[in-house]
Every structure is written in structure tokens, then in C-alpha cells.
Structure 1
């Protein structure tokens, strides 16, 4: 990162866009983030710089740099609304996830951010990162750690009645129990996910995931006719997405 900053203005953002190469654009955007100004306009331009920088680092497969960026932005997060912080944090974590071979980095990054959000009392963001962490642990077959994390999280989220997150967590718990070959608990968690989903609007991708898990569980019980029906419903939900 350069020692001399660039003012957080539209001109500086444009300068990065017009850079001859990616490394030049990245350098300019880092310098924009070094601007000490915290005026509303400067903060808005820095948010744009973060978005652009995140995209460029992802394109260059620079996962560790994305991790360092997220750590360096913590003072900035105290200057902007919590909702914007959550969007930026989740966006950077999503970008790391798009880089091949970064499972361990993602887990480490999520654990770091869980500690930070807990210290900063950012409950909304922490719960979502913990759900993401549990999914990553399940993917890497760390079933015991994932189940421990989910058990505490589901109680907390159910108490807060955050139904959209509850659907995700119950569905994840169903997948986890299925991986552990505990079909009764997998079915119970899926029923809980459906119950929560029935009370709110569920995005097509999430509804498709619920139907897919339903199909898998019915197929496991050799109820292939019902399984087919759910698989077809899942296919229709996923097929309707603009970017599957």
C-alpha cells in the first residue's frame, strides 16, 4: 500500500478505472482508502473503492490480500452504518469463496470475523458469518465442530425470531445430520426449515434448496415418486434464476 494517499473523489475512482493494468488500478484504489477524510462524500467514494478493489483482487485470485483488506477496514467500519458494514464484509467473504482452493482461508477468515463481530457486539452480522462458517466446516467434513456451532446458533436465532436466517440454519442442520446418517434428525430439521419458510417470503434459490433436500431425504427412504416431485420443484426454482 502506498504511503501517499489520493483524495476519495470520483476523479480518483475514474483514474483507477482508466489505469493501464490491474496492478495499477489496485494501487490507486488502496491509495484512495488511505485518504484520512471522513466526510460523507469521502466515505461514499471509499465504499465504491472497496467494491472495485474487491472485484479486482478476486479476479487476480489474491485471497490473502482480500483477507488483509478486510482486517485493515475495521477502523473504517466504525464510521459507516452497520448495514453497510455487513454488506461489505459479506461481499469480501463471498469474493474469497469464488477463488479456487481457499476453503481453509475462508474458514480462518470467518473465525477471525466472528471474534471481531462478537467484540464489537454486531450480532446480526456475527450470526450470518457463523452460519457461513458452519457450512464451510460441513464441506470440509468437520462435522462435530459444525454441529456444535449450529446447535448454539439455532437456539439464539430462534429466540430472536429471525425467520429468514432460521430457514438457512435449519436447512444446513438437516444437511449436516444427513451427512452423519441421522435421518430422523435430518427430517426434523427440514420440517423446521419448512415451517419457518411458510411464514415469510423465501427467495427462489432458498426454496429450491429446501425442495432439493426434501427430494434427497425421500430418495433415501426409497420414496422415489415423492422424491422426483421435489427434485422437479427444485429444478424449476433453480432454472428460474437469472444467474444459477
Structure 2
């Protein structure tokens, strides 16, 4: 199998146990720190392997990949390392495989980021953990971590992540039927979003939350519908499955 890429080798090892597969992947991550092209190729192959695992529904293998790639991250800039880890974690969580290790995996990645003093990565992962807390009904934990992270982000210039956390705070308060605080958090998110370029998916999520609050709190269904339609168009433009949810 000499000369095969990490992706090719992993694809041909479907019957191999996870521990052996992790060793194969880890050995393939040995690189020359001065060879930028080799590092770039390895980074791309890790993403390809992660996407393949997601496509095949291999949640545990994807979780292992996240762990065994950590030593390789030292060859990347902090920004690139953060993007790679966040992408892999997103692939894992988007599987919605309910393996029972989602929260623990997020926490482990956050602890690793703390030890490595990778602040941006840690904050990005904490935002993902807040979303996970929300999705699993752990609202107290979501608000506690969100409040702590918001204090940090307001002192920094990462407004994209700030919008994400403010929006999660609004959704959590709405789930707890605290509509005044849900509205206040959404207003903060929109104010922050107005100062930056928002990706279509983020803007659509803001519109969807606005529609929900107008319908639930103010019973202003006409305004709510206009927001829902804006959300539908936004999600549809990026071919997001939530487009139909917004229209319904």
C-alpha cells in the first residue's frame, strides 16, 4: 500500500478495528515541518477523511480522527488549526448519531485548546458546545457557558462568533419561555450583525428567530411571515434543509 494517501488507505480498511485504524492515520500525519505543501496536503486529506466518515455515518471513527490529528495541529497556524478542528467537530455533531459522547468530546477538545493556549479555537468550540447544550435541552448549562463566553467576546473583535452566541442565548431563553430576555438577546445579535457581513445562513437564522418571536410574543403574524419568508430565501440560497422549516 506504499504511496497510497491517508484517505485511500483508510477507505480500504473498513474491516480493521478502530484502534488499528487510528494508528494508521496517526502514522500518516508525520510531516516535515518545513514542507508547507506536504502540510497543506495532509490538512486536506484529514478533511476528506472526515467528510467520508460523515457520509458513511461512522461517528466513532470520526471522533477518533479528531483525537489522533491533534499532534498534527502544531504544524498549522492557530487560525488554520482552529478551522480544521471546528470543521471536524461540526462534521461529527452534524451526524446527529446520538452516540452519547458528543458533549464529552466537545469538552475534551476545549480542554486541549486551553492547554495549548489556543484561545480562538477554545471560544469557537465553546460556542458549539452551547449549541449542543441547547439541542439536548440542557438550557441551564447553555446559559451559564453563554454568559461567560459573551463577556469575553464583547472585549474582542470576533463579531461573527458574538452573533452566534447571542442568537443561541435568544433561542435558549425562548425555550425557557422567557420572551423578554429572548427578545433582548435577539436585538443584541441583530445590532452586532448590522456592523459586519453575515453569511446567508446566519442572516437566515436571525430572520427565523425574529419570526418565531413575533409570532409567539407579539402575535404579529404578518411581520412574522415576512421574516419566515426571508429566512426561507436565505436557507434556500445555501441549499440548507431548514428552508422548508422556515416556510412551514
> Quick one: structure 1 residues 60 and 188, their matched pair in 2 at CA, closer, same or farther if it must change by over 3 Å?
same
**1:226 is aligned to 2:223:** yes
> Quick one: structure 1 residues 100 and 195, their matched pair in 2 at CA, closer, same or farther if it must change by over 3 Å?
closer
- Following superposition, the deviation at residue 16 of structure 1 comes to 1.8
Q: Distance in 1 between matches of 2:226 and 2:189?
A: 19
- Following superposition, the deviation at residue 39 of structure 1 comes to 4.2
> Quick one: structure 1 residues 39 and 29, their matched pair in 2 at CA, closer, same or farther if it must change by over 3 Å?
farther
Match of 1:95 in 2: 91
> Structure 1: which 5+ runs fail to align?
none
Match of 1:13 in 2: 5
Q: Distance in 2 between matches of 1:226 and 1:131?
A: 29
Q: Distance in 2 between matches of 1:184 and 1:20?
A: 51
**1:78 is aligned to 2:74:** yes
For residues 127-206 of structure 1, what are the structure 2 equivalents within 5 Å?
127-206=123-202
Q: Distance in 1 between matches of 2:11 and 2:78?
A: 35
> Quick one: structure 1 residues 111 and 162, their matched pair in 2 at CA, closer, same or farther if it must change by over 3 Å?
same
**Aligned length, in residue pairs:** 235
Instruction: Tell me if structure 1 keeps the 8 A contact 2:59–2:97.
Output: no
Instruction: Tell me if structure 1 keeps the 8 A contact 2:7–2:48.
Output: no
Instruction: Tell me if structure 2 keeps the 8 A contact 1:166–1:193.
Output: yes
Q: Distance in 2 between matches of 1:208 and 1:68?
A: 33
Cα shift readout 1:117-165 (whole Å, capped 9, x = no counterpart): 1111111111111011011111111111111000000110011132111
Q: TM-score, normalised by structure 1?
A: 0.86
> Structure 2: which 5+ runs fail to align?
242-248
Instruction: Tell me if structure 1 keeps the 8 A contact 2:31–2:39.
Output: no
Q: Distance in 1 between matches of 2:6 and 2:147?
A: 47
- Following superposition, the deviation at residue 202 of structure 1 comes to 0.8
